[in-house]
A and B are shown apart, each in its own frame.
Chain A
């Protein structure tokens, strides 16, 4: 019996393919800007300068790779958990088209210097409107599928999925409010300190609603699938869920410690950031305990590796994050390379690891075949792991070094180092970081080849196609 024949998965495959393409672009641009920081002569004015390329890197990563693959996975998971075909396959196809046009236009306009200059909300208003439309179309499709579902019980993954649908909509719309000057230029609806407070309410909760909640939905679905073991505790998942989505929204101002944002908002943000350790580790422990009695699969099953190493990085990320939210520590490392080190552990370690695992699983399921090469998948795993570790560790060292140099004073209270001296000290780390990018890219290349070959193998086999 082939249950999957009832499901409509062409858009799942489409979103997987395109999200990998945009993700690769994000990594390539990332390598380019990392090289530019070490060798400024690599800036090609005006279109390929660091200031214009960095938003392309972040937008391609978050919106292209992240959101693109979440849409794919949500379409896939929702159908299976509800035992119901997708509400509108046609709408899904349209969504993919608009998605690709939007991301491509984003890259072009950002290179032209058209941007709103708010981090992770750079796209000018016509594109921001299109992004919102994409998300709403996708949300309707998923939500209608859930409404029409045949399976009454809603598994925890569906909770996370629905929270992301609501959360992202609210965050994105509010932070993008503005006053258009013309088609390619607008000014924020909020001014100064208010704008900063709204921005980081958005910025940090984009981390929650895009880079935490969706990968958790995926993790909770795929880990039991891969291991053939139920999740350790559904109840713990539910408690962690509500506390997570309650606490996250209070924490944005930990990006604004020591700034003119009212002190109490900073303190509240600090307190809630520390409290977040509990629900975050709820998910980590749930994952670990699901592995009880079958830890040997870390060795025998390549998919388990991606999932468990992914959730481990999530655990480390959610310990390091709260630490950075403490005023005294923030004073030390904020504005230094420590923060990119932290962010990339989350994106390259946690989010991408889980997505890699899920993508292998979905590719083999949709092709009704085994993965093309387990050996290549293992090589992929090690390359991206090593690349990411080198990236993060060098940036943490660079951050600590620059942070301490920037704060160092002479006995009379004057500064010990000039700004330039602190930069000269960290340039060697920039070069190592660029190398780590190439290692990661090599891993990504193996992943792409393996997925391509797996789909090809599936198409060649005389399988029953949906």
Chain B
């Protein structure tokens, strides 16, 4: 009969398709985004952040940047920025999700923890001209985002998405550029969750004495850490670009250690206590001070 009745066939095919669909796609709605994976600290986007998110979507950033830190050690180390792997409760306000499928650029789920600078100097320079910050980068330039932000639909977006907002939030949009919105979104990513802030306190060493005063033994390793963590802002040769020149810094070892560990938020210097241990920070201090005499 199957071979002869297309109507019955179609119904049967539909039923067969719906079995796996029901179990693995429909049923999970019951417990995903429910109370059990709720994270109280995770807040919806502000009008400016949502505008930034919409620009991220408009430009198709998701085609090169993912937004999920997997539970793998290397992922947590590389993209966690001290916030660990991604949890379901962090994404409840994301319509759509922007997890992506290809990392031609790094994962951005916790980029807000990496560059907490309120002025977003790093992002501003990097987005306008990526190669000026990361010379070998293959990211396109987004200088065209330096244009006034269209806020026609900002309030309606909040209502549609059922996000709370105040008049102050809307006033905050005035005079903003698309770049400002994009940076506001970047700075929000990953920052809601309780981060290992305690780590920063622990990184204040018992004695502020550099155990690596002899550079010879650590130079290679220290240089590698410098290139990975510092060069994009302080220059490949410590000559200073976004951040100040570091070559032969006159600051004391202890002072440098504290700055690297805790950062200087007002200047846009991120804290590295969560991503580098004390040994590494001391090695960096030694490297930075090289040629100071």
Whether chains A and B associate is yes
Residues of B contacting A3 in the complex (Cβ-Cβ under 8 angstroms): none
Contact with A along B132-167 (1 / 0, CB 8 A): 001011111111100000000100110011000000
Whether the Cβ atoms of A118 and B96 lie closer than 8 Å is: yes
- Within the complex, the shortest CB–CB distance from A341 to chain B, in Å, comes to 12
> Out of A336, A337, A427, which one reaches B138, CB within 8 Å?
A427
Whether the Cβ atoms of A181 and B3 lie closer than 8 Å is: no
Decide if B170 is an interface residue (CB 8 Å cutoff).
Answer: no
Query: Footprint of B on A, CB under 8 Å?
Result: 36-40, 43, 45-46, 49-52, 54-55, 113-119, 143, 146-147, 152-154, 158-159, 162-163, 165-167, 170, 179, 181-182, 185, 187-199, 201, 242, 245-253, 255-262, 265, 268-269, 272, 331, 335-337, 339-340, 406-409, 413-415, 418-420, 423-424, 427
Decide if B58 is an interface residue (CB 8 Å cutoff).
Answer: yes
CA gap between A250 and B21 in the complex, in Å: 7
Whether the Cβ atoms of B20 and A406 lie closer than 8 Å is: no
Decide if B168 is an interface residue (CB 8 Å cutoff).
Answer: no
Given contacts A117-B60, A119-B101, A415-B74, contact A143 B88 (CB under 8 A): no
Whether the Cβ atoms of B10 and A262 lie closer than 8 Å is: no
Residues of B contacting A199 in the complex (Cβ-Cβ under 8 angstroms): 96-97
Interface hits, B44-69 → A, CB 8 Å: 54, 57-64, 66, 68
Whether the Cβ atoms of B68 and A260 lie closer than 8 Å is: yes
Residues of B contacting A187 in the complex (Cβ-Cβ under 8 angstroms): 95-96, 160-161
Whether the Cβ atoms of B153 and A185 lie closer than 8 Å is: yes
CA gap between A189 and B96 in the complex, in Å: 8
Whether the Cβ atoms of A152 and B4 lie closer than 8 Å is: yes
Given contacts A113-B59, A259-B68, A262-B28, contact A196 B99 (CB under 8 A): yes
Whether the Cβ atoms of A335 and B101 lie closer than 8 Å is: yes
Whether the Cβ atoms of B24 and A268 lie closer than 8 Å is: yes
- Within the complex, the shortest CB–CB distance from B240 to chain A, in Å, comes to 20
Given contacts A55-B63, A195-B95, contact A247 B20 (CB under 8 A): yes
Whether the Cβ atoms of A262 and B31 lie closer than 8 Å is: yes
CA gap between A261 and B31 in the complex, in Å: 11
| Chain A CB within 10 Å, residue with most, of B3, B98, B160 | B3
Interface size on B, residues (CB 8 A): 82
Decide if B290 is an interface residue (CB 8 Å cutoff).
Answer: no
CA gap between A416 and B86 in the complex, in Å: 22
Whether the Cβ atoms of A198 and B25 lie closer than 8 Å is: yes
Residues of A contacting B106 in the complex (Cβ-Cβ under 8 angstroms): 419
Residues of A contacting B104 in the complex (Cβ-Cβ under 8 angstroms): 37, 423
Whether the Cβ atoms of B77 and A36 lie closer than 8 Å is: no
CA gap between A147 and B10 in the complex, in Å: 12
Residues of A contacting B13 in the complex (Cβ-Cβ under 8 angstroms): 162-163, 166-167, 245
> Out of B32, B37, B101, B157, which one reaches A181, CB within 8 Å?
B157
> Out of B24, B60, B66, B138, which one reaches A40, CB within 8 Å?
B138
Whether the Cβ atoms of A253 and B24 lie closer than 8 Å is: yes
Given contacts A259-B86, A418-B228, contact A423 B138 (CB under 8 A): yes
Interface hits, B86-111 → A, CB 8 Å: 86-88, 90-106
Residues of B contacting A188 in the complex (Cβ-Cβ under 8 angstroms): 95-97
CA gap between A323 and B173 in the complex, in Å: 49
CA gap between A182 and B124 in the complex, in Å: 30
Whether the Cβ atoms of B140 and A36 lie closer than 8 Å is: yes
What 9 A-B pairs come out closest when comparing CB atoms? A192-B91, A51-B60, A249-B20, A43-B140, A258-B70, A113-B58, A188-B96, A260-B88, A250-B20
CA gap between A347 and B81 in the complex, in Å: 37
CA gap between A166 and B140 in the complex, in Å: 41
Whether the Cβ atoms of B144 and A45 lie closer than 8 Å is: yes
Residues of B contacting A50 in the complex (Cβ-Cβ under 8 angstroms): 60, 63-64, 140
Residues of B contacting A256 in the complex (Cβ-Cβ under 8 angstroms): 99
Given contacts A188-B96, A335-B101, 13 further A-B contacts (CB under 8 A): A45-B141, A118-B96, A147-B7, A162-B9, A166-B14, A185-B54, A197-B28, A199-B96, A259-B86, A259-B99, A331-B70, A331-B72, A420-B136
> Out of B37, B73, B227, which one reaches A413, CB within 8 Å?
B73
Whether the Cβ atoms of B28 and A154 lie closer than 8 Å is: no
Residues of A contacting B87 in the complex (Cβ-Cβ under 8 angstroms): 260
> Out of B4, B23, B29, which one reaches A194, CB within 8 Å?
B29
In the complex formed, the residue of A with least CB distance to B103 is A335
CA gap between A258 and B255 in the complex, in Å: 40
Residues of B contacting A40 in the complex (Cβ-Cβ under 8 angstroms): 130-131, 137-141
Residues of A contacting B228 in the complex (Cβ-Cβ under 8 angstroms): 415, 418
In the complex formed, the residue of A with least CB distance to B100 is A335
- Within the complex, the shortest CB–CB distance from A180 to chain B, in Å, comes to 9
CA gap between A190 and B95 in the complex, in Å: 6
Residues of B contacting A420 in the complex (Cβ-Cβ under 8 angstroms): 134, 136-137
Residues of A contacting B20 in the complex (Cβ-Cβ under 8 angstroms): 246-251, 272
CA gap between A257 and B95 in the complex, in Å: 21
> Out of A115, A118, A167, A269, which one reaches B58, CB within 8 Å?
A115
> Out of A245, A252, A337, A408, which one reaches B25, CB within 8 Å?
A252
Residues of B contacting A162 in the complex (Cβ-Cβ under 8 angstroms): 6, 9-10, 13
CA gap between A67 and B280 in the complex, in Å: 55
Whether the Cβ atoms of A117 and B98 lie closer than 8 Å is: yes
CA gap between A414 and B31 in the complex, in Å: 35
Residues of B contacting A55 in the complex (Cβ-Cβ under 8 angstroms): 60, 63
| Chain B CB within 10 Å, residue with most, of A162, A201, A255, A423 | A423
- Within the complex, the shortest CB–CB distance from B135 to chain A, in Å, comes to 9
26 interchain pairs (CB within 8 A)? Answer: A40-B130, A40-B141, A46-B59, A49-B60, A50-B64, A51-B64, A54-B60, A55-B60, A113-B60, A118-B96, A119-B101, A154-B9, A163-B17, A167-B17, A170-B18, A189-B95, A191-B93, A194-B32, A245-B13, A250-B23, A253-B24, A260-B91, A261-B88, A413-B73, A420-B137, A423-B138
Whether the Cβ atoms of B96 and A45 lie closer than 8 Å is: no
Given contacts A49-B59, A115-B58, A159-B9, contact A154 B3 (CB under 8 A): yes
Residues of A contacting B196 in the complex (Cβ-Cβ under 8 angstroms): none
In the complex formed, the residue of B with least CB distance to A192 is B91
Whether the Cβ atoms of B17 and A245 lie closer than 8 Å is: yes
Decide if B198 is an interface residue (CB 8 Å cutoff).
Answer: no
Decide if B206 is an interface residue (CB 8 Å cutoff).
Answer: no
- Within the complex, the shortest CB–CB distance from B18 to chain A, in Å, comes to 8
- Within the complex, the shortest CB–CB distance from B159 to chain A, in Å, comes to 10
Given contacts A187-B161, A259-B99, contact A242 B74 (CB under 8 A): no
CA gap between A156 and B72 in the complex, in Å: 44
Decide if B33 is an interface residue (CB 8 Å cutoff).
Answer: yes
